[in-house]
């Protein structure tokens, strides 16, 4: 029996966990017995020996997941116990001296429970506190031997288990998902040669060039320290004060003010490694590389008004979307692409590849697809997996190496360091979600919460008492060796606190980004600057920001100045005398429209309005057509439960007009049927559904008399051509209407309808 979430089957990879079994009383013996036996001389990570057979897991059979089985606990059919395994007879009452007497100190059962509870919380991440994660696999398209010996790329079809965590940056752990913010995109590859963490973002550049400035940036964007406001937002004085004094942030500001900062879904955003890394082949030769994740479902974002409304109605919007896509089988998928260039090529670029505020235009160095990543299993326990996972940029494997990017250098230190306080000591690599599939053998010992029980008396190297083990692995045994990179580049080798010359050029790529956007995207960027700066209370900050922005694009700065009702100030002086000429003036790949996806509507949520007296047949036909395309249709009526249709078709509303507002859906269907239309016309919610869908440029299908609802809401032909506006389908025929509607949804949005300010 298959249960459904949002009308779709549950994830087959978790068979038995949901569905019919759900309501059935647990049977004794249903527990998953953790295989507790440790292989002699091995570490915890080696416990499930079947996890060691490599990474050729079939889809859904993830070697990292199998190894986690040793710690999975299922209490079905089990008695309640203390942490010492003592069975508890009474979990309701503390031990007292008489029913009305004092509670006794000896109540070890009460104290066991409360003490653990008192310590349930750990410090949240200082940045990227709010996140959601999933398991999956990376599959290589083919060997990359000429470039790298890195384990995931060894042969075509090879699968490496991954755990991926997406996040916002500024907000606290309980903050909303749809804040205007950068998104973290952190991938842990559990390879047989150790863990590789590719800790990236959904934007390919960063605000600052040197790790020295990171605490300043974060202090500026976080809630202001005196009053703790605003939560999860950059629209406040301290952020704009800082960035307006840091012209190097201008390029990143363009990205952060674009719709990239309000993605529709984690599944519809790109990911980037940001820094230049190195790939290293068997001969020790290396090239530079930039990593790109491109979503199969295309790049799609929210509109600002929508994001603001969603924040209130469903702060878990992205978390829920990721969860439901995976449970429903519309698995998020990305293609991994690499941009590869040599040191000599890099030396000729008009920008410095060690500068994280610069990208390498795809027109200059094409992106080569090398594999795909599929996320197909949700975590079992949010805390144990999503919260305790510790990504560290220092985690690389043979075949990879770092560049000298000074931002990256700081990160290599920072990620390990932060886990020590966040996860309470140096043994966080032993937490199951962090422990590698590759065996761990070294002479590190002790520390808080040590899990492994090391045998023998040798904990040093060299030794003879332990037979010299564990021994140093040479290159032939996949020992990690650093690239003997030349320190000589464009700069001399003196020990200095300074930046390379090209780091002083701050505006070429900000301009490139803005000039590469479609008119709609440019309008959104201008509106975002206007919004954010209008929240700044100190006029001098607004002025300084515009003075800087003017250097990137006078047209943009003028638009923002107009929106802020202020004159355009003089341009800020440049930090470089003669800016180098960029190779590329426009890069179409930088527009969100460059990656529309495959036109599929899989995973999109569609709301079908209904009320008593609706034509049930046509609604069901549209429902079936959407479902067949992998979309998630939901029926919404004034109240949940049965809808009494005019034609006797059985319909159940699982959403009420009140409990899920219309802006939570990607598209809207209005029903046929006089009585239903009249009932819906009496509901203020109906107009909100229609107007929000219209305003957010989403597709609307009006079946038969449903057209009257559009007219009553005053939308549908706002463009005054007499024809329905783009993305609005009016049809008496359910099959034809559904087909046209599905095509319209494939376009995601119909920005032709958008006006600033909005007309509805």
263 binds ligand HDE (CB under 6 A): no
220 binds ligand HDE (CB under 6 A): no
Using CB atoms, what's the residue nearest to ligand HDE? 184
Select 195 or 414, whichever has its Cβ closest to ligand HDE. Answer: 414
Q: Which two tokens stand for residue 560?
A: 């923002």
The string of DSSP letters for 484-511 reads ---S-SSS-----S---GGGG--SHHHH
206 binds ligand HDE (CB under 6 A): yes
411 binds ligand HDE (CB under 6 A): yes
Shortest distance (Å) from residue 269 CB to ligand HDE: 12
407 binds ligand HDE (CB under 6 A): yes
746: buried, middle or exposed (CB in 10 Å: 19+, 13-18, 0-12)?
A: middle
Q: Which of residues 424-483 bind ligand HDE (CB under 6 A)?
A: none
Q: In a 3-state reduction of DSSP, which class is residue 268?
A: helix
184 binds ligand HDE (CB under 6 A): yes
Shortest distance (Å) from residue 430 CB to ligand HDE: 16
DSSP annotation of 753 reads G
Shortest distance (Å) from residue 262 CB to ligand HDE: 17
- Per the CB < 8 A criterion, the answer to whether 209 and 357 are in contact is yes
Shortest distance (Å) from residue 48 CB to ligand HDE: 25
Select 171 or 727, whichever has its Cβ closest to ligand HDE. Answer: 171
Shortest distance (Å) from residue 96 CB to ligand HDE: 44
Shortest distance (Å) from residue 418 CB to ligand HDE: 4
Shortest distance (Å) from residue 186 CB to ligand HDE: 4
Select 164 or 374, whichever has its Cβ closest to ligand HDE. Answer: 164
Question: What gap in Å lies between CA 659 and CA 607, rounded to an integer?
Answer: 12
| Contact pattern for ligand HDE over residues 332 through 371, marking x by CB under 6 A | ------------------------x---------------
Select 290 or 750, whichever has its Cβ closest to ligand HDE. Answer: 290
Shortest distance (Å) from residue 542 CB to ligand HDE: 27
22 assigned to active site: no
Piece of 30-38, 198-206, 304-312, 709-717 that binds ligand HDE (CB under 6 A): 198-206
Q: Which two tokens stand for residue 377?
A: 């299993």
Piece of 54-62, 63-71, 411-419, 531-539 that binds ligand HDE (CB under 6 A): 411-419
Q: In a 3-state reduction of DSSP, which class is residue 703?
A: strand
Question: What gap in Å lies between CA 381 and CA 314, rounded to an integer?
Answer: 21
Question: Which of residues 127, 179, 667, 697 is near ligand HDE by CB under 6 A?
Answer: 127
Cβ neighbors of 85 (< 8 A, separation 6 or more) are none
Helix boundaries (H) for 629-704: 674-681, 684-695
Give bridge partners of residue 271 from the DSSP assignment.
293
109 binds ligand HDE (CB under 6 A): no
Select 273 or 582, whichever has its Cβ closest to ligand HDE. Answer: 273
- Angle at 40 (CA atoms; ends 35, 46), nearest 5 degrees: 50
- Per the CB < 8 A criterion, the answer to whether 452 and 44 are in contact is yes
| Contact pattern for ligand HDE over residues 579 through 618, marking x by CB under 6 A | ----------------------------------------
Piece of 79-87, 127-135, 336-344, 452-460 that binds ligand HDE (CB under 6 A): 127-135
Q: Which two tokens stand for residue 572?
A: 């800020």
The maximal CA–CA distance of the chain, rounded, in angstroms, is 90
Q: Exactly one of 201, 378, 508, 551 is catalytic; which is it?
A: 201
- Helix and strand totals (H; E) in the chain: 18, 20
Piece of 91-99, 224-232, 405-413, 531-539 that binds ligand HDE (CB under 6 A): 405-413
Select 160 or 388, whichever has its Cβ closest to ligand HDE. Answer: 388
Cα dist from 538 to 243, 392, 527, 535, whole Å: 14, 38, 19, 9
126 binds ligand HDE (CB under 6 A): yes
158 binds ligand HDE (CB under 6 A): no
Q: Exactly one of 128, 275, 696, 748 is catalytic; which is it?
A: 128
Shortest distance (Å) from residue 356 CB to ligand HDE: 6
Shortest distance (Å) from residue 135 CB to ligand HDE: 14
Hey, what long-range contacts does 17-23 have (CB within 8 A, 24 or more apart)?
Answer: 18/327
- Nearest alpha-carbon partner for 316 in 153, 130, 487: 130
214 binds ligand HDE (CB under 6 A): yes
- Nearest alpha-carbon partner for 704 in 606, 609, 626: 609
The string of DSSP letters for 92-114 reads S---BSSTTSPBPTT-HHHHHHH
Q: Which of residues 264-323 bind ligand HDE (CB under 6 A)?
A: 274
Select 386 or 699, whichever has its Cβ closest to ligand HDE. Answer: 386
- Nearest alpha-carbon partner for 748 in 566, 526, 520, 551: 520
DSSP annotation of 224 reads B
201 assigned to active site: yes
Sign, Cα dihedral of 688, 691, 696, 699: positive
418 binds ligand HDE (CB under 6 A): yes
Q: How many beta carbons lie within 10 A of that of residue 563, not counting itself?
A: 16
198 binds ligand HDE (CB under 6 A): no
Piece of 330-338, 408-416, 662-670, 700-708 that binds ligand HDE (CB under 6 A): 408-416
165 binds ligand HDE (CB under 6 A): yes
- Angle at 521 (CA atoms; ends 516, 522), nearest 5 degrees: 70
Cα dist from 54 to 194, 271, 305, 437, whole Å: 12, 27, 48, 8
167 binds ligand HDE (CB under 6 A): yes
Q: How many beta carbons lie within 10 A of that of residue 347, not counting itself?
A: 11
- Per the CB < 8 A criterion, the answer to whether 287 and 400 are in contact is no
Question: Which of residues 391, 507, 663, 694 is near ligand HDE by CB under 6 A?
Answer: 391
125 binds ligand HDE (CB under 6 A): yes
415 binds ligand HDE (CB under 6 A): yes
Residues acting as catalytic residues: 128, 201
- The residues binding ligand HDE (CB under 6 A) are 125-128, 131, 165, 167, 184, 186, 199-201, 206, 211, 214, 274, 356, 390-391, 407, 410-411, 414-415, 418-419
């Amino acid at each position: 029996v298959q249960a459904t979430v949002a009308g779709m089957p549950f994830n087959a990879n978790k068979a038995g966990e949901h569905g019919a079994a759900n309501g059935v009383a647990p049977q004794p013996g249903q527990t998953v017995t953790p295989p507790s036996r440790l292989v002699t001389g091995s570490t915890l990570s080696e416990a499930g020996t079947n996890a060691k057979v490599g990474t050729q897991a079939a889809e859904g059979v993830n070697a990292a997941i199998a190894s986690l089985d040793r710690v999975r606990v299922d209490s079905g059919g089990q008695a309640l116990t203390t942490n010492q395994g003592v069975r508890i007879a009474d979990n309701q009452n503390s031990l007292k001296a008489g029913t009305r007497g004092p509670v006794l100190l000896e109540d070890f059962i009460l104290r066991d429970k409360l003490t653990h509870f008192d310590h349930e919380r750990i410090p949240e991440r200082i940045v990227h506190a709010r996140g959601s994660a999933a398991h999956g696999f990376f599959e290589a398209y083919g060997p990359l031997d000429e470039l790298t010996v890195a384990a995931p790329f060894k042969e075509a079809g090879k699968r490496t288990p991954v755990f991926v965590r997406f996040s916002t940056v500024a907000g606290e752990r309980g903050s909303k998902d749809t804040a205007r913010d950068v998104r973290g995109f952190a991938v842990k590859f559990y390879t047989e040669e150790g863990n590789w963490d590719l800790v990236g973002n959904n934007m390919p550049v960063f605000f600052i060039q040197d790790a020295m400035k990171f605490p300043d940036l974060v202090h500026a964007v976080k809630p202001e320290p005196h009053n703790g406001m605003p939560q999860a937002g950059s629209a406040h004085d301290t952020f704009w004060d800082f960035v307006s004094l840091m012209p190097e942030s201008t390029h990143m500001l363009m990205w952060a003010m674009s719709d990239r900062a309000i993605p529709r879904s984690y599944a519809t955003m790109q990911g980037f490694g940001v820094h230049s890394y190195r790939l290293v082949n068997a001969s020790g030769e290396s090239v530079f590389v930039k990593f790109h994740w491109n979503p199969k479902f295309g790049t799609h974002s929210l509109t600002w008004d929508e994001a603001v409304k969603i924040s209130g109605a469903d702060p878990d919007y992205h978390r829920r979307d990721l969860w439901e896509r995976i449970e429903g089988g519309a698995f998020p998928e990305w293609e991994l692409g690499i941009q590869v260039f040599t040191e000599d090529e890099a030396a000729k670029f008009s920008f410095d590849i060690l500068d994280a505020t610069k990208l390498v235009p795809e027109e200059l160095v094409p992106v080569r697809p090398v594999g795909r990543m599929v996320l197909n299993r949700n975590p079992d326990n949010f805390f144990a997996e999503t919260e305790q996972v510790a990504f560290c940029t220092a985690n690389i494997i043979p075949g990879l190496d770092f560049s000298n990017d000074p931002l990256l250098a700081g990160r290599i230190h920072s990620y390990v360091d932060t886990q020590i306080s966040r996860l309470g000591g140096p043994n966080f690599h032993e937490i199951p979600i962090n422990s590698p599939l590759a065996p761990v053998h070294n002479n590190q010992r002790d520390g808080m919460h040590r899990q492994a029980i090391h045998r023998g008396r040798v904990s040093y190297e060299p030794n003879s008492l332990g037979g010299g083990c564990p021994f140093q692995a040479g290159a032939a045994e996949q020992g990690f060796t650093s690239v003997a990179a030349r320190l000589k580049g464009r700069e001399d080798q003196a020990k200095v606190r300074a930046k390379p010359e090209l780091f002083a050029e701050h505006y070429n790529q900000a301009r490139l980004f803005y000039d590469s956007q479609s008119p709609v995207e440019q309008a959104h960027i201008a509106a975002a600057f206007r919004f954010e700066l209008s929240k700044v209370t100190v006029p001098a900050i607004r002025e300084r920001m515009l003075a800087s922005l003017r250097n990137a694009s006078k047209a943009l700065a003028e638009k923002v100045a107009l929106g802020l009702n202020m004159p355009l100030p003089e341009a800020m002086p440049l930090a470089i005398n003669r800016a180098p000429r960029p190779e590329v003036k426009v890069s179409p790949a930088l527009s969100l429209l460059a990656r529309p996806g495959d036109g599929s509507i899989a995973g999109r949520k569609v709301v079908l309005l209904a009320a008593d007296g609706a034509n049930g047949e046509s609604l069901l036909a549209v429902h079936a057509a959407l479902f067949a395309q992998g979309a998630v249709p939901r029926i919404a009526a004034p109240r949940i439960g049965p809808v009494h249709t005019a034609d006797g078709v059985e319909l159940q509303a699982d959403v009420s007009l009140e409990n899920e507002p219309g802006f939570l859906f990607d598209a809207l269907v209005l029903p046929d049927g006089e009585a239903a239309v009249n009932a819906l016309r009496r509901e203020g919610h109906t107009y909100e559904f229609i107007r929000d869908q219209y305003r957010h440029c989403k597709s609307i299908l009006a079946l038969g008399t449903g057209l009257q609802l559009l007219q009553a809401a005053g939308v549908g032909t706002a463009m005054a051509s007499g024809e329905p506006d783009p993305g609005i389908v009016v049809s008496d025929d359910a099959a034809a209407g559904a087909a046209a509607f599905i095509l319209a949804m494939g376009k995601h949005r119909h920005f032709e309808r958008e006006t600033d300010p909005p007309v509805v």
